[in-house]
Amino acid sequence: MRIGRFFIVRKRKLPIGNRTNLNQNKPSNSNVLSQLLFVLIGGFVGAYANQFYFAENRKFEASIQLKKEFISEQLPAYNRLINFAYDSRGTTILNKELKKIITTSYDPFGLIYMRDTTAMVDTVKYIFPSFVVQETNRNEFLNDIDDIKKEKYKLDQDVWQEFTQVLMFLNNNPLPSVTNFNEQIKSNWDDTITHKDWNKITVNLYKVVIEKRNKLYEL
C-alpha cells in the first residue's frame, strides 16, 4: 500500500501451525543440559570402568606374584620331605660273629677228662635302618626332622598330618644308641615287622608329598 512517497510494508503472518514447528525445532535449554549431563555421566562411567579394570588387574598380578613367592618357599620344604621319606628307607646289615667257647671238664682230682676242641663260628645278620646304626645318617635324619618341624607353616595340612605319623612312630619306637650294639638288638629296629610298618609310613608320606609338589608345578 502506497501513501504518498512512502510505502507501508505489511508484515506477513505465518500460519499458526508453522509457528509451532519453528518453536519445536529450536533446542530448549533443558534438552541441551540433558545432553551435556548425559555426556558427562558417560565419560565419568567410562573413566571409572577403566580405573576399576586396571585396579582389578593390578590386584590379580599382585596375587599371582604372592602365589609365586609362596610356591618358591614351599618347594624346598617339599623336596626336603621327599628326600627324607626316600632316604630313611635305606637299611644296613650288621654281621656279628658268634663263636662257641672251648670248654674243658676236670675230674675231682683236677685231671682233665673231657675237652671240647670244636671252635664253631657262626655269623648272625642284623638288619637295621641306616639311621639307627650309622652316625652320619643318624645326624642327617635328626637334622631333617628338626628342619621339617620349623617349616611346618610352609606345608599343606594333609602333608603335615602325614609327617606326624613319622613322629608318632619314632615316639613309640625310641632310637637306640648309635654305638651300643646291645641296645640296638634289644630295640625293635631289627624286627621285620617294625621295618614293614616304617616303610609303609614313609611310602605314604612320599606319595602324598610327590602329589602336592606336582600340583605346585602346575600352578
Q: Name the pLDDT band for 92 (thresholds 50, 70, 90).
A: confident
Q: Quote the pLDDT of residue 93.
A: 82
d(C-alpha 6, C-alpha 19), whole Å: 30
- Residue ranges of alpha helices (H) inside 88-191 are 130-133, 135-150, 157-172, 181-186
Q: Report how many helices (DSSP H) and strands (DSSP E) the chain contains, helices first.
A: 7, 6
**Per-residue pLDDT tens over the stretch 167-182:** 999 999 999 999 999 8
Q: Name the pLDDT band for 90 (thresholds 50, 70, 90).
A: confident
Q: Quote the pLDDT of residue 215.
A: 82
Nearest to 112 by CA among 127, 102, 120, 122: 102
Q: Quote the pLDDT of residue 183.
A: 93
**Per-residue pLDDT tens over the stretch 51-68:** 655 555 555 454 445 456
Q: Quote the pLDDT of residue 63.
A: 46
**Which residues have CB under 8 Å from 106's CB, separation 6+?**
112, 113
Percent of the chain with pLDDT over 90: 37
Write the single-letter amino acid at 87. D
**Per-residue pLDDT tens over the stretch 175-219:** 999 999 989 989 999 899 999 999 999 999 999 999 988 887 775
**Which residues have CB under 8 Å from 186's CB, separation 6+?**
176
Look over the chain and give the mean of its residue pLDDT values, rounded to a whole number.
Answer: 75
62 versus 73: the higher-pLDDT residue is 73
d(C-alpha 77, C-alpha 212), whole Å: 11
- φ and ψ at 26, to 5 degrees? -75, 125
Angle formed by the axes of helices 29-87 and 157-172, nearest 10°: 20
Give Cα 196 to chain centroid, integer Å.
28
DSSP state of 115: E
**Per-residue pLDDT tens over the stretch 14-49:** 454 544 454 555 555 566 666 666 666 666 656 555
Q: Quote the pLDDT of residue 84.
A: 94
Q: Quote the pLDDT of residue 135.
A: 94
As a residue count, the chain comes to: 219
